Homo-oligomer: A and B are copies of this chain.
Amino acid sequence: MKVVGVIVEYNPFHNGHAYHLDMAKKVTGADVAIAAMSGNFLQRGEPALVSKWTRAKMALLGGVDLVFELPYQFATQKAEVFANGAVSILSSAGCTHLCFGSESGDIDSFYTAIDFLNMHDSEFQKNIRYYLSKGVSYPKALALAFQDVKPGEEMADLSKPNNILGFQYIKSLQRLETSIEAVTVKRKSAEHHDEHFSSATIASATSIRKALFSEQGKLDEVQSLVPESTYRLLVEHFQEFGRFHSWDSYWPYLRYRLITMSPAELAQVYEVEEGLENRLISCALQAASFADFMQMVKTKRYTWTRLQRTCVHILTNTKKAEMKTVTEPNYLRLLGMSERGRDYLRNRKQHFTVPVVSRLSAFKNEQIELDIKSSRVYALGVQPDRHASGIGDEFKQHPIYLPDEK
């Protein structure tokens, strides 16, 4: 039996994702597709547009059979930790293949690059340290250091964002010593961060979010760029809550926390380091909005996403000590399943290496406490006054089940 895994955020699930998923099943001949999906806060340090439950629905309607949550502890981290967590989940769930999108589209080019870098490791690491010492961010230093070791044409270009992710996935596969086979599909859209629609039906999630956050809330404008099911779910969310989740909704809370914390207390928060605490507090006192705050805090030393992730940890009050408990997810939090996914679970879950969590009440675990807390905070992002009976209550939510249409 072939089981393909994908590592996703689906923020939101769009035509490019649908294409990748179809190709992933096609090229691997998989019977079942499993997604390791970030929860409510994402790797770029942003709240997801819509909740993980709505995004799990999008995934199921788009053809995924099982959606497992990538826990907060991995989802809100740099690429390396993110990749480790996601690959570990796919491995625990019995995947035989991992399929990722890349600018390269050629899986051999990744292995060649990895072998080459292993051979030139000391020079590569020295270059990275050199660029870091010049005050640039880590991803930038990595890209520059990579170019300096003069990679061949046959290697994946690690200065491209999706190639870097793929590179990290393969390194995780090796590190975790799984038997999963990696495959890659060339991305159909333009650059990951391209903000302008590049074609009639394929656009980056970034450009879709930009349209959704524009002043008029241009839902119509994204209709051609996402599957009908995604569009319907976006409309439903907007009708219910009147807005999509964005940092703007959380800014009052972030600011409130920053202006009531002592620097010493703030320094206990994960990723608040090197005196950043004083800078964060003094900017919070001045800034008029989250965008304004980020502009003030930003330095060459930190990437925008690294700083946004730090803000997520401050918002959720996640301490350094809480993020150091484990190196791999030790549960599979089930967000959704198709009929095929349910059958797969029934037959296979006794062979899984970690427990599947369908109901929170039956499971106690330090790591999952972070997921619960982050969901409560996430819920404050829309209509905070309407929580008559418990906010962001993960205990009441059951996995979404999508039976086959008869």
A interface with B by C-beta (< 8 Å):
252-253, 255-257, 259-261, 265, 285-286, 288-289, 315-317, 373, 376-377, 380, 384-385, 387-391, 393
**CB proximity of A262 to chain B, nearest CB, Å:** 8
Considering the complex, give the chain B residue whose CB is closest to the CB of A260.
B317
> A336 to B286, alpha carbons, bound, how many Å?
26
- Interfacial chain B residues near A390, Cβ < 8 Å: 285-286
Known contacts A253-B253, A373-B259: A286-B389 contact under CB 8 Å: yes
- Interfacial chain B residues near A373, Cβ < 8 Å: 259-260
Q: A252-B380, A256-B380 given. 18 additional CB < 8 A pairs?
A: A252-B385, A253-B253, A255-B391, A257-B260, A259-B376, A259-B377, A259-B391, A260-B315, A260-B316, A260-B317, A260-B373, A260-B376, A261-B317, A285-B391, A286-B389, A288-B385, A288-B387, A289-B385
How many copies, total?
2
> A261 to B260, alpha carbons, bound, how many Å?
13
Interface pair A285/B376, CB less than 8 Å apart: yes
- Interfacial chain B residues near A389, Cβ < 8 Å: 286, 288
User: When the two chains form the complex, which single residue of B288, B315, B393 contacts A388, counting CB atoms closer than 8 Å?
Assistant: B288
- Interfacial chain B residues near A316, Cβ < 8 Å: 260
Shortest 4 CB-CB distances between A and B: which pairs? Answer: A260-B317, A288-B388, A259-B376, A253-B256
**CB proximity of A136 to chain B, nearest CB, Å:** 32
30 example contacts (A-B, Cβ-Cβ < 8 A) are as follows A252-B252, A252-B380, A252-B384, A252-B385, A253-B253, A253-B256, A255-B391, A256-B256, A256-B257, A256-B377, A256-B380, A257-B257, A257-B260, A259-B373, A259-B376, A259-B377, A260-B315, A260-B316, A260-B317, A260-B376, A261-B317, A265-B317, A285-B376, A285-B390, A285-B391, A285-B393, A286-B390, A288-B387, A288-B388, A288-B389
Interface pair B288/A377, CB less than 8 Å apart: no
- Interfacial chain B residues near A256, Cβ < 8 Å: 253, 256-257, 377, 380
- Interfacial chain B residues near A253, Cβ < 8 Å: 252-253, 256
> A260 to B374, alpha carbons, bound, how many Å?
8
